[in-house]
Structure 1
Amino acid sequence: MKVTVNVDCTPEEARTFLGLPDVQPLQEAVMAQMQERMTASLKSMDPEVLLKTWGPMGLNNLEQIQKFFFSQFPGGAAGGGGTPGKK
């Protein structure tokens, strides 16, 4: 014998019937806090703020990075002064 029972109810009614807690207020509070944090973090993604954060010394910092980078190559920025034939 096969018995089929169809129950037509809303999620809230099913939750109440099964004795499960209503977590909707908690979920709303967490989502509001997440939205607030995401909105605050978007402000730090402003290009001007990023440049100020990454380069506190402005263009001097960029020049120092370039000098350091070019100093790592043999012969500096002149295009190589290494010994020919040496691998």
Structure 2
Amino acid sequence: MKVNVEVTCTPEEARAFMGLPDIKPMQDRIMGEIEERLRSSLGAMNPETIFKTWLPASMQGMDQMQQMQQVFWSQLANIATGGSTKKE
């Protein structure tokens, strides 16, 4: 003998009937927190923010490089003209 029972219900009704906990409020809180973290992370990925963060360090490095280059060329010019490389 074969018996088929068909039940039509919503997932919430099935969950309650089976005695499973309703985790929707917890899921909503977690998804809200994930969304907040994602938005703050995306704010840090803004090209303008990255540019402002990295530019001062790279510009300072370029400044130092130019100063070293000027010292090198002035010392080379002193050597070529027979001058001293020591600062007096």
- TM-score band (shorter)? 0.5 to 0.7
For 1:32, the aligned partner's letter is G
Question: The residue matched to 2:21 in structure 1 has which SS?
Answer: coil
Find the aligned partners of 2:47 and 2:62 in 1 and give their Cα distance: 16
C-alpha distance 62-18 of structure 1, shift in aligned 2 (>3 A): farther
Q: How many residues align?
A: 65
- CA 1:63–1:9: 2 relative to 1, 3 Å: farther
Give 1:32 shift: 0.3
Gaps of 5+ in 2: 65-88
Query: Which is higher, the Rg of structure 1 or of structure 2?
Result: 2
- Counterpart Cα distance in 1 of 2:53 and 2:18: 53
**Paired-residue identity, %:** 50
**Which structure 1 segments of 5+ residues have no match?**
65-87
Query: Which 4+ residue blocks in structure 1 deviate beyond 3 angstroms?
Result: 52-56, 60-64
Scaled by the length of structure 1, the TM-score of the pair is 0.62
TM-score by length of 2: 0.61
**Per residue, is there more helix in 1 or in 2?**
2
